[in-house]
Amino acid sequence: MDVLDLARTQFAVTGSLHFLFVVLTLGLAPLVAIMHTRHAMTGRPVHERMTRFWGQIYVINYALGIVTGLVMEFQFGMSWSGLSHYAGDIFGAPLAIETLGAFFLESTFLGLWIFGWHRLPKWLHLACIWLVTLTAYVSAFWIMVANSFLQNPAGAVERGDHLVLTDFGALVTNPMLTMALPHVLGAGLWTGGFVVMGASAYHLFRRTAGQEFFTGSLRLGVVAAFAGSLVTVGFGYAQFGPVSLFQPDKFNGAPLAGIGLGFMILIGQLLQFLIMFVLLPTVYWLPRWRWAHPILMLITPLPFLAAIFGWLAREVGRQPWLVYGRLTVADAMSPGLTRGMITLSFVGFVGVLGLLAVVDYLLIARTVRRGPGAATLGADGPADSTERAHALSL
């Protein structure tokens, strides 16, 4: 590989690893908020345990995902200074708004929710997790505004050697954004539903104590995955209109983007048919069918895989442009970079993100294996002694 291909590969690999964290965060947040709402409205202990258990998994993924996002920011300055010079005034603004506004608010509300158990008033505590969900979606909006600008530099004109923003409304209503944002949010809900479904199937298969807990969780996961699949597939196909208008050759000259699109559609359609015609109609009986639980565990990673293929299709398809029709990837790369420099940073970044991904998986797997009785989130309140004793004996 030459320097340019190494730099592109580095960003693709680190971006894919980061997106794995993001898509699960976007999916689990509304599910935890729904569980907490059910607890606040009914007062049933099982809903509190569900909120604490799945909320702890959400917090683990969120905390480790923050670091992967910082690595992405470093790469813009190190490898792609040409982008900052040419379009930084526009591209950087949504990223700054996301960081200074939505992300800080999200972190603040999440902190209040984590440490507010049995301290904040019930409804105020519930409001915190819904605000976490809302600000997470706002963060996704601003990230997608920035990404969609790269796909179609709407609202910008060239003055001298750089782009300037002339129409903010066109930037935030970019046709490459309006269909892509719901697609991403739906993919997150789809992924979160599969994680909840697969982890619940694990405990139902093992006949862990507290079957009501995992029965309710599995059914919620199936319903969430169904809703996410409808949004994802519907808005996924709706994107072909803007793509054909603004990037008519997107999938013609980039084999990796044709491949990525094909696998994403294949996985998505298979899973949607499975959810729509098998899992959802049998959702009442599914928790009792022990033979089906290993199948649910095996298919849990598939939405993650489809999300990566979709990301590759969206990004690789606009090559050789970084800002479509305005700035090529080659012109955006920082001057003076050598193979040795990129290789060193590649190894470092991928090593850090790969380690975080492994740690994330191990921590989540450990939390799932130990079960809800060992959840430490909100542990100063009442807990189910039977589940706790069972978890500690594992």
For 325, the 3-state DSSP assignment is: coil
- Dist CA 50 CA 251 (whole Å): 43
Question: What's residue 381's pLDDT?
Answer: 55
Question: What's residue 277's pLDDT?
Answer: 92
Is pTM beyond 0.85? Reply is yes
Question: What's residue 389's pLDDT?
Answer: 44
- Dist CA 179 CA 148 (whole Å): 10
Closest to 308 measured CA to CA, from 267, 348, 274: 267
Residues 6+ positions from 275 with CB-CB distance below 8 Å: 222, 225, 226, 229
Residue the block writes with tokens 């090559």:
319
For 65, the 3-state DSSP assignment is: helix
Indicate the Cα dihedral angle 119, 124, 125, 130, nearest 10°: -170
What radius of gyration do the chain's Cα atoms show?
22
Helix H or strand E segment including 219: helix 211-238
Length of the chain: 394
Q: For residue 298, how far is the Cα from the chain centroid? A: 20
Question: What's residue 304's pLDDT?
Answer: 95
**pLDDT tens per residue across span 41-93:** 999 999 999 999 999 999 999 998 888 887 777 788 788 999 999 999 999 99
- Dist CA 12 CA 393 (whole Å): 43
Question: What's residue 393's pLDDT?
Answer: 40
* Residue stretches of the chain with pLDDT short of 50: 382-394
Q: What DSSP state is assigned to residue 334? A: P
- Dist CA 193 CA 223 (whole Å): 8
For 163, the 3-state DSSP assignment is: strand
